[in-house]
Amino acid sequence: MSYTHLSITERSELALLHRLGWSARAIARELKRHHATIARELKRGCKAGEYQAEAAQEVYEKRRERSVPRGKWTPEREHYIASKLAQ
């Protein structure tokens, strides 16, 4: 099973259809997504009852940045390796 994240285009369509009063299941059918995906997105992105695609996209991008592992490279490790190589 493959999973793809919602694009800004899909989020924009979602916002428009939500404003028109469509249900999460109807929006899901239109976007060819699972209804739970749409419901979660609406739950995450609704501020004062209105879903805003641009704000939801920005929050999504920040979440993605935080979810990437930082790795093992640190300035201290760099200094240690450089000093060992210099010897």
- Helix, strand, coil shares of the chain, percent, nearest 5, are 65, 5, 30
Distance, in Å, from the CA atom of 53 to the CA atom of 71, rounded to the nearest integer, reads 31
Using one digit for the tens of pLDDT, what is the confidence trace for 49-60? 789 999 999 999
Confidence of residue 71 (pLDDT cuts 50, 70, 90): confident
Token pair belonging to 71: 């790795």
Q: Alpha carbon of 59 to those of 30, 32, 41: distances in Å?
A: 24, 23, 11
Using one digit for the tens of pLDDT, what is the confidence trace for 10-24? 999 999 999 999 999
Give the model's pLDDT for residue 74.
87
